[in-house]
Amino acid sequence: MSIVTVQLGQCGNQIGFEVFDALFNDSHCPGGLCSKRENEAYQASCKERFFSEEENGVPVARAVLVDMEPKVINQTLSKAARSGRWKYGQHSCFCQKQGSGNNWAYGYSVHGPRHKESIMNLIQKEVEKCDSLSGFFIIMSMAGGTGSGLGAFVTQNLQDQYSSALKMNQIIWPYGTGEVIVQNYNSILTLSHLYRSSDALLVHENDAVHKICARLMNIKQISFCDINQVLAHQLGSVFQPTYSREGSFHYRRNPLGDLMENLVPHPEFKMLGVRNIPQMSENSLAYSTFTWAGLLKHLRQMLISNAKMEEGIDWQVRPPLSGLPPLGKMSVNKETHFNTSIANLVILRGKDVHSADVGAFKDPALYTSWLEPVHAFNVWKTQRAFRKYEKSAALVSNSQSLVKPLDMIVGKAWNMFASRAYLHQYTKFGIEEEEFLDSFTLLEQVIASYCNL
């Protein structure tokens, strides 16, 4: 089954390119530490999901590119074409010349309705190229105007038009210290709308990825390209093919469906985060070896202590004693709090993957009480190595780890809202104070729900 990706705005398009590039390069990586037949099956599965084929044999990304100004799309298209290995469809782009001015209201209320037909037609064309549709992967930022506002609008329309297809939104959380001054307003409006119309929100925070670039990858002058490449690597490690079940060597067909089933048991809890291990520069990789035991131990502690990378993990944090409830309800202000999960998915790729012991992730103490660990935890595997990593593990979790960042954004937006600053820019395009209040209410609810796990 195939996934149709919708890339929105500057961020969405810049990241989208890196994702397809990472997926393609990985699936055409020589070796992969497995047999030729295995490699071919992996490639074929990746292709079915993400690429269609044209007459001359160059794979075409199953993607629709949308932006309200042309510079980024032009760059994205030319970068893909220049690589010569894969490309975007010639007629897969929708572009305007005015931009959304970092204004969620403009993206949602003006651009949305104005261009709905054209955009939905493009998506329809892409859907028709799929033999069978798994769902939509929508890449967007929260801080700007197009990705956020138009992204929310498009997601809503996808819900209306393709009610049986799944939608996962890849949302980029901006740096805490401004890229955009009104980013907190744009963020709360985006999140509240997506919470109603999307099936899962896969979140990446610029601050966290930036730290990975600085500390793990050792990059001195970090550019957005570096950040996007780390992000693409993480997404690739989630979305590349894995075996359909224990003991099988066939690749699973419905990645989005399976992700949702494993990770989003309840519509009140939709926020997912990704962790990846190991993550390092290619130079260091050549000199490193890992054991599954080591990797999984670190990954589990990263989950429990809410660390976003394998450096600086707090090993003091422990799960509460089995059978006893966690000490006091989670308060957002507590520093080292144990991160309770609703559901976790571990994805293992590489050598001796069948010998990896994931028992520690099945500990009921990690999870909230309303799901049996057997339902709350899943593991996917493939012995086909990912990129140059002999062994690599990814963890997709639905847990409390996004509560603190969410709370910060809501807090800042609320302070600004109280002063009424910038509101005239939104009301000008039909987003009234009511809408803001509704968003605040919904998000406070989400925060409370996660805190009470």
Partner 1 sequence: MTQSVVVQGEWPFFPPNVCSLSFLGTVGQCGNQIGCCFWDLALREHAAVNKKGIYDEAISSFFRNVDTRVVGDGGSISKGKICSLKARAVLIDMEEGVVNEILQGRLRDVFDSKQLITDISGSGNNWAVGHKVFGSLYQEKILEKLRKSAEHCDCLQCFFVIHSMGGGTGSGLGTFLLKVLEDEFPEVYRFVTSIYPSGEDDVITSPYNSILAMKELNEHADCVLPIDNQSLFDIISKIDLMVNSGKLGAAIKPKSLVTSSTGVFKKRQEKPFDAMNNVVANLLLNLTSSARFEGSLNMDLNEIIMNLVPFPQLHYLVSSLTPLYTLADVNIPPRRLDQMFADAFSKDHQLIRADPKHNLYLACALMVRGNVQISDLRRNIERLKPSLQFVSWNQEGWKTSLCSVPPVGHSHSLLALANNTCVKPTFIDLRERFIRLYKKKAHLHHYLQIEGMEESCFTEAVSSLSALIQEYNHLDATKSMPVEDLPRLNIAM
Q: Which is nearer to partner 1, 87 or 384 (CB)?
A: 87
The footprint of partner 1 on residues 299-328 (CB under 8 A) is none
Q: Contacting partner 1 (CB under 8 A), which of 6, 46, 72, 238? A: 72
* Angle, vertex CA 62, rays to CA 206 and CA 133, nearest 5: 105
430 counts as binding partner 1 under rule CB under 8 A: no
427 counts as binding partner 1 under rule CB under 8 A: no
Token pair of 32 as six digits: 């992969």
Q: Determine contact, residues 76/16, Cβ cutoff 8 Å.
A: yes
Reported in sequence order, the residue ranges of 351-432 that DSSP labels E, i.e. its strands, are: 377-382, 391-399
Site string for partner 1, 52-71 (x = CB under 8 A): -----------------xxx
175 counts as binding partner 1 under rule CB under 8 A: yes
| Cβ 16 to partner 1 shortest distance, Å | 15
Q: Contacting partner 1 (CB under 8 A), which of 35, 78, 161, 291? A: 78
Element housing 408 (H / E): helix 403-418
Burial of 286 (0-12, 13-18, 19+ CB in 10 A): exposed
Q: Contacting partner 1 (CB under 8 A), which of 44, 181, 321, 327? A: 181
429 counts as binding partner 1 under rule CB under 8 A: no
Q: Contacting partner 1 (CB under 8 A), which of 35, 98, 218, 427? A: 98
Q: CB within 8 A of 259, min separation 6: which ones?
A: 168, 200, 238, 345, 396
User: How many of the other CB atoms lie within 10 Å of CB of 90?
Assistant: 10
Q: Which is nearer to partner 1, 11 or 304 (CB)?
A: 11
How would DSSP label each residue in 70-111? SHHHHHHHHHHHHHSS-B--TT-EEE-SS--TT-HHIIIIII
| Cβ 271 to partner 1 shortest distance, Å | 17
- Where do we find the tokens 């500057």? 10
Q: Contacting partner 1 (CB under 8 A), which of 56, 289, 419, 434? A: 419
38 counts as binding partner 1 under rule CB under 8 A: no
The candidate with the shortest Cα–Cα distance to 194, out of 166, 172, 169, is 169
| Cβ 340 to partner 1 shortest distance, Å | 16
Q: Determine contact, residues 94/115, Cβ cutoff 8 Å.
A: yes
Site string for partner 1, 5-34 (x = CB under 8 A): -----x---x--------------------
| Cβ 381 to partner 1 shortest distance, Å | 36
83 counts as binding partner 1 under rule CB under 8 A: no
CA-CA distance, 250 to 236, in Å (whole number)? Answer: 19
Token pair of 134 as six digits: 């798994």
438 counts as binding partner 1 under rule CB under 8 A: no
178 counts as binding partner 1 under rule CB under 8 A: yes
| Cβ 148 to partner 1 shortest distance, Å | 13
| Cβ 57 to partner 1 shortest distance, Å | 20
3-state DSSP helix/strand/coil percent for the chain, to nearest 5? 45, 20, 35
141 counts as binding partner 1 under rule CB under 8 A: no
* Angle, vertex CA 342, rays to CA 200 and CA 280, nearest 5: 75
Residues within the interface to partner 1 (CB under 8 A): 10, 14, 69-75, 77-78, 90-91, 93-99, 101-103, 114-115, 118, 122, 145, 175-182, 210, 213-214, 219-225, 227, 410-412, 414-416, 418-422, 424-425, 440-441, 444-445, 448-449, 452
